[in-house]
Amino acid sequence: MPAIPGRPVQGKSERSPQGPPAVAREDDDAARAVRRYYPAYWAVLAVLALVGLQLAVFIVRDKRLGWPIVWHYMFDVRILDGLQTTIEVTAICMVSGSIVGLITALARLSKFKILRGIAFGYVWLFRSVPILVQLLIWFNLAYLLPTLSIGIPFGPHFGNWNTNNVFQPFVAALITLTFSEGARTGEIIRGGLLSVDRGQKDAARALGLSARTTHFRIVIPQAARVIIPPMGTQFITLLQTTSLLSVITLYDLLGTAENIYGLTLQILPLLLVASIWYTVLVAVLSVIQSWLERRLSLGYATPSTTRPATVRNALRASTWL
Partner 1 sequence: MAMTRGETGTQNDTRTGHDSHRSDRPTVLSVRGVHKSFHGRVALAGIDFDINEGEVVVILGRSGSGKSTLARCIQQLEPIDAGSIYLDGELLGYEHSRRGLRPLKPGRAAVQRAKIGTVFQHFNLFPHLTVLENITLAPRRVQNLTKRDANERATSLLERVGLADRAGAYPKQLSGGQQQRVAIARTLAMEPRLLIFDEATSALDPELVGEVLGVIKGLTAEGDTMFVVTHEIQFAREVADRVIFLDGGVIAASGTVSEVIDNPQLDALKRFLARSARAQAPGESAR
Q: Which residues bind partner 1 (CB under 8 A)?
A: 197, 199-200, 202-211, 213, 217-218, 221-222, 225, 296, 298-302
Closest CB to partner 1 among 153 and 208?
Answer: 208
Q: Rounded CA gap, 35 and 37, in Å?
A: 6
- The nearest distance, CB 194 to partner 1, in angstroms, is 17
Which candidate, 293, 247, 248, 274, places its Cα nearest to that of 73? 274
Closest CB to partner 1 among 62 and 202?
Answer: 202
Closest CB to partner 1 among 148 and 209?
Answer: 209
- The nearest distance, CB 91 to partner 1, in angstroms, is 27
- The nearest distance, CB 213 to partner 1, in angstroms, is 5
In degrees to the nearest 10, what's the CA dihedral of 50, 53, 55, 56? 170
Q: Rounded CA gap, 247 and 245, in Å?
A: 5
Q: One-letter amino acid identity for 82?
A: G
Q: What is the CA radius of gyration of the chain?
A: 29
Neighbours of 309 (CB within 10 A): 16
Closest CB to partner 1 among 209 and 267?
Answer: 209
Q: Rounded CA gap, 119 and 97, in Å?
A: 14
Closest CB to partner 1 among 66 and 221?
Answer: 221
- The nearest distance, CB 226 to partner 1, in angstroms, is 12
Closest CB to partner 1 among 7 and 111?
Answer: 111
φ and ψ at residue 252, rounded to 5 degrees:
-90, -165
- The nearest distance, CB 114 to partner 1, in angstroms, is 19
In degrees to the nearest 10, what's the CA dihedral of 48, 51, 53, 57? -160
- The nearest distance, CB 295 to partner 1, in angstroms, is 10
